[in-house]
Amino acid sequence: MEPGKLDPGEVRFFCGSSNQPLASQIAEYLGVPLDPTHISNFSNSNLYIQLGASVRGRRVYIVQSLSPPADEHLMELMMMLDIARGASAREIHAIIPYFSYARSDKKDAPRISITARLVADLLQTAGATHAMSMMLHSPQVHGFFSIPVDPLSSRPVLEQYFRNKDLSDTVVVAVDMGHAKSAARFAKNLGLPVAAGNKERVSDTEVRISGIVGDHVRDCQRALLYDDEIATGGSVYEISRMLIQAGIKEIWVACTHGVFTKGGLDRLAAVPQITEIIATDTVHLPEHRLHPKLHTVSVARIFGEAIRRNYLRRSIGDLFVFGEKEAE
């Protein structure tokens, strides 16, 4: 076996039904086969899953995004983890490109669940010995896990995409103050100024933007809106409206997780000033849900490299959300 390569005889690589294209690209990067997973439903709608290769004594990697339908995909993941544990896998790695329950990270109302912590506990109980995800909604979610977790960053692929464009007269705008630090790192790496929206969430589909913090907007003609996740598009729509009123002529929208529920993609694409929407492939969108304004960049290389280094017991700090390069 070549130095720095995974041993196909020692590794088993599987995926659930949520994002097979990304899993295939990660496996291709690693030079290992994507082993089959047989998934079906009984007549009472219960799931039936069988892993299509022996995992005994091996390092098992299971790729599954918790994209809609999130509950079904979570159940698939837990069953696959449990299967690998019951079949005597040596290590079981849950590779979760999009951890949707990370948004439920605090108790901000009576009698509700901190579901991100609950799901973290369930994954460990099901058999995961290690987890890997990308751009968790908030840093504290990392601390909900009792197993080792690698929180990866999508910024390198997004930065690479925008470095090939004319960035003159452009300001990076965080959709809300909670993501201002992440947007500031993104802007710094691109050599751009930064601003942020002052957002109040009213409901899952309604937000209020009371203003934009930062003076750079008035000096620029283009805004690069930066967010970790876009679902209904309510936040991006509202801040886009304010930016247009402030004199912005063109808007690029960039996010890690392009979930685009309830017509969110069409809603944003209908705004004439929004000329491009860039998302990574942590969430798989079928062909009929795509739009000409949407451009997808792949994070397969980041996950593949993180898995390779993990396998070789090498540092992956520079791939983290708060990586070594950013700490300098």
Helices 155-163 and 180-190, interaxial angle, to 10°? Answer: 40
Number of H helices, E strands in the chain: 9, 14
Is 199 an active-site residue?
Answer: yes
Q: Which amino acid is at 116?
A: A
Selected catalytic residue, list 5, 165, 188, 199: 199
Sheet harboring 91-96: ordered strands across? 11-15, 59-63, 91-96, 130-134, 149-152
Asked whether 101 and 115 are in contact (CB, 8 A), the reply is: yes
Pairing relation of β-strands 37-41 and 47-51? Answer: antiparallel
Q: Note the helical H segments in the chain.
A: 20-30, 70-86, 115-126, 155-163, 180-190, 234-245, 264-269, 300-311, 324-327
Q: Which residue has the tokens 């999130």?
A: 70
What span, in angstroms and rounded, lies between the C-alpha atoms of 155 and 272?
26
Q: Which amino acid is at 244?
A: I
What span, in angstroms and rounded, lies between the C-alpha atoms of 248 and 220?
7
Residue 34 phi/psi, 5° resolution? -90, 105
Asked whether 220 and 193 are in contact (CB, 8 A), the reply is: yes
Pairing relation of β-strands 207-213 and 170-174? Answer: unpaired
Helices 115-126 and 70-86, interaxial angle, to 10°? Answer: 30
Give catalytic residue positions. Answer: 199
